[in-house]
Amino acid sequence: AQSVAQPEDQVNVAEGNPLTVKCTYSVSGNPYLFWYVQYPNRGLQFLLKYITGDNLVKGSYGFEAEFNKSQTSFHLKKPSALVSDSALYFCAVRDILTGGGNKLTFGTGTQLKVEL
């Protein structure tokens, strides 16, 4: 089965500084990787995905992620953090279901806190 790991429960960064939220993956075959963000009392919102092609993927709200096959990582990045980026971030990998279709397998989430 496919899996992802988010080694940090929380990341703190000052506004204006670059941010990185880490994710590593374990898959058999080609990885289909996603980042989602969850604001308080809200559902998950899609940020970006890696399917194939360029290792640097650009997404919503100025976020980007770098796919690194040798390190089996898919870290989320932003050059300049905003206080409004404070939220819970989930890395996920697509996994095939035995009954057909596919599902997202999520990491445990990383709480990002951006301070003034």
Per CB under 8 A, the segment of 15-23, 61-69, 73-81, 89-97 that binds another protein is: 89-97
Do 93 and 2 contact (CB within 8 A), yes or no? Answer: yes
3-state DSSP of 3-53: EEECCCCEEEEECCCCEEECCEEECCCCCCEEEEEECCCCCEEEEEEECCC
Of positions 8, 15, 20, 44, contacts another protein by CB under 8 A: 44
Q: On the CB side of 32, how many CA atoms lie within 13 Å of its CA? A: 7
Looking at 45, 55, 60, 68, which residue binds another protein (CB under 8 A)?
A: 45
CA 31 to chain centre: 13
Q: Least distance to another protein from the beta carbon of 39, Å?
A: 10
Contact flag: residue 63 with another protein (CB under 8 A): no
Q: Would you give the end-to-end CA distance of the chain in angstroms?
A: 41
101 versus 116: smaller Cβ distance to another protein: 101
User: Which residues ranging from 93 to 112 are in contact with another protein (CB under 8 A)?
Assistant: 94, 96-97, 99-104, 106-109
Residues lying near another protein in the complex (CB under 8 A): 9, 32, 34, 36, 41-46, 49, 51, 90, 94, 96-97, 99-104, 106-109
